[in-house]
Amino acid sequence: MVYKVDRLSRSLLDFARIIDRFEQHSVSFVSVTQQFNTTASLGRLTLNILLSFAQFERELIGERTRDKMAAARRKDKWVGGTPVLGYDIDRGGGRLVINQKEASRVRKIFELYRTHGSLDAVIEELNRRSWSTKSWKSKRGLEHGGRPFTPVPLLRLLTNMVYTGKIEYRGTIYDGEQPPIIEFGLWQEVNAALRKPTPILKPPRHKHDALLSGLLFCESCQRPMISTYSGKGSRRYRYYVCQGARQNGWKSCSTKSVSATLIEDSLMSQLRVRLNADHTRLALKIPDREWQAFTQGHTNGFVSKTVEKLRYNGAAATVSVELRTRQGSQS
C-alpha cells in the first residue's frame, strides 16, 4: 500500500519488475489516493500514463539539478561533497576555507612525491609520521575519522585540482572561490610524473623457449618433435609437432602434435615420482640443492641434466622417459 504510485517507483522498468514480483507471490498493490482497476485494460493504461509522468518528472529534476551545479561551477562556487584534506567547509556558506595545519601536510605530501617519485615510498613515509586522510563532521553530527593512506586516496589527493585554487567539472576547468594551497606549476609537475607509464620488466629471453627442445622424439617415426604455437588475439597455444609429419604430410605419421603444457606437466610429474628415491638421485649425481629447487618449481637446466630422451606415442598418448646415469641411460 502506498500513498501515490510514484512513491513506489518513478521508473517504468523498475515498476514492471516490482509488479511482476508481487504477482509471483500473490501480493496486491494498492494506491490510497488513486483508484483504478489494473485487472482491466483501461486501468493498466491509466497506471502506465501515471508512471510515464512520474519518470518524466524524475528526469526533469535531474536535468535541472545538473544545470544548477554547472552554473554554480562557472560562478566559482563549491557545490558540496566530501571535504578534502587541507580545507574546511565554511559554516556561513558553501565555500572552502583553508585549514592551516592540514594545508602544511598537503604541501609536504606533494614535495615528498616530487622527491621520491613513488606512491609506495610516500605512503611509507606518511605512515611513519602517522598522517591520515581527512577527518570531519557532517551536518548531522556524524564523525568521520581519518584513515591511513593507501595508494587510491593518495592518488586522489595528488590529482585533485582543488589545491591549485581551481575546480574541474566535466572536463572544464574553472577558477574556484577557495584560495590555493600549492602552486599550479608544482601540481602540473607531479601529475606529469604520475602520467608517465610504469616500465614493465620483461623476463629474460632464453635460447630455447621450449622446455623439451632437443629431448622429445616421435616414437612412431623416430624423428624429433619441434616446438611451435598458434595464436588467437593476445593468447598463445604451444605445441610439439612431429618433424616427419610436418615435412612428409600429416598422414605419414600417427603422432602429429601434442599440447606443450600437457606433455611438460606429464614429464614433471614423472620426474618427481622417479627421483624421489635417494639412490636414484645419487646415480644421476643430482645435488640436494638442485633437487630442492626443482621441487619448488625451478625447472631451468634441471630437465636437460637429468633427461636423456623422451619418446611420445601419439596413438597410445603415452610418454616414455630415459634418464641420464653414470653408466648411460635408464628407462
For 224-239, give the DSSP string.
BEEEEEEEETTEEEEE
Q: Do 326 and 221 belong together in one domain?
A: yes
Q: Do 325 and 220 belong together in one domain?
A: yes
Residue with grid cell 604520475, as numbered in its chain: 194
- CB of 107 within 8 A of CB of 182? yes
Provide mean pLDDT across the span 297-313.
77
Provide mean pLDDT across the span 241-258.
76
Q: Do 69 and 155 belong together in one domain?
A: no
pLDDT over 60 at 192, yes or no: yes
Q: Do 141 and 52 belong together in one domain?
A: no
Cβ-Cβ contacts under 8 Å for 142 (sequence gap 6 or more): none
What pLDDT sits at residue 73?
61
Residue 201 lies in a domain: no
What pLDDT sits at residue 199?
54
Residues of the chain with pLDDT > 90, as a percent, come to 14
Residue 231's domain spans which residues?
A: 216-330
Backbone angles phi, psi at 308, to 5 degrees: -85, -45
Residue 200 lies in a domain: no
pLDDT over 50 at 213, yes or no: yes
pLDDT over 80 at 59, yes or no: yes
Residue 208 lies in a domain: no
What pLDDT sits at residue 80?
63
Provide mean pLDDT across the span 222-247.
81
Provide mean pLDDT across the span 218-243.
82
Residue 20, C-alpha cell as written in the block: 511482476
Provide mean pLDDT across the span 178-201.
82
pLDDT over 70 at 300, yes or no: no
pLDDT-derived band at 186 (thresholds 50, 70, 90) equals: very high
Q: What residue ranges in the chain does DSSP mark as E strands?
A: 87-89, 96-98, 136-137, 143-144, 166-169, 172-175, 216-218, 225-232, 235-242, 257-259, 307-313, 318-324, 329-330
44-53 pLDDT, tens digit each: 777 778 778 7
Name the residue type at position 220. Answer: S
Of 164, 195, 226, the position where a domain reaches its end is 195
pLDDT-derived band at 189 (thresholds 50, 70, 90) equals: very high
Residue 115 lies in a domain: yes
Q: Do 326 and 231 belong together in one domain?
A: yes
Number of domains, the chain: 3
H or E stretch covering 41? helix 41-74
Q: Do 142 and 191 belong together in one domain?
A: yes
- CB of 315 within 8 A of CB of 254? yes
DSSP letters spanning 146-206:
--B--HHHHHHHHT-GGGGTEEEETTEEEE-SSPPSS-HHHHHHHHHHHHSPPPPPPPPPP
Residue 61 lies in a domain: yes
Residue 203 lies in a domain: no
Q: Do 164 and 256 belong together in one domain?
A: no
Q: Do 52 and 100 belong together in one domain?
A: no
Between helix 119-128 and helix 151-158 the angle, nearest 10°, is 100
Report the predicted TM-score, pTM, of the whole model to 2 decimal places. 0.45
What pLDDT sits at residue 290?
78
Q: Do 321 and 229 belong together in one domain?
A: yes
pLDDT-derived band at 207 (thresholds 50, 70, 90) equals: very low
Q: Do 188 and 231 belong together in one domain?
A: no
CATH of the domain at 117: 3.90.1750.20
- Residue 115 to residue 107: CA distance in whole angstroms: 12
Provide mean pLDDT across the span 56-73.
76
Residue 297 lies in a domain: yes
pLDDT over 70 at 326, yes or no: no
Of 48, 74, 100, the position where a domain reaches its end is 74
Residue 153 lies in a domain: yes
Q: Do 145 and 225 belong together in one domain?
A: no
The mean predicted confidence, pLDDT, of the chain is 78
Residue 174 exposed, middle or buried by CB count within 10 Å (0-12, 13-18, 19+)? middle
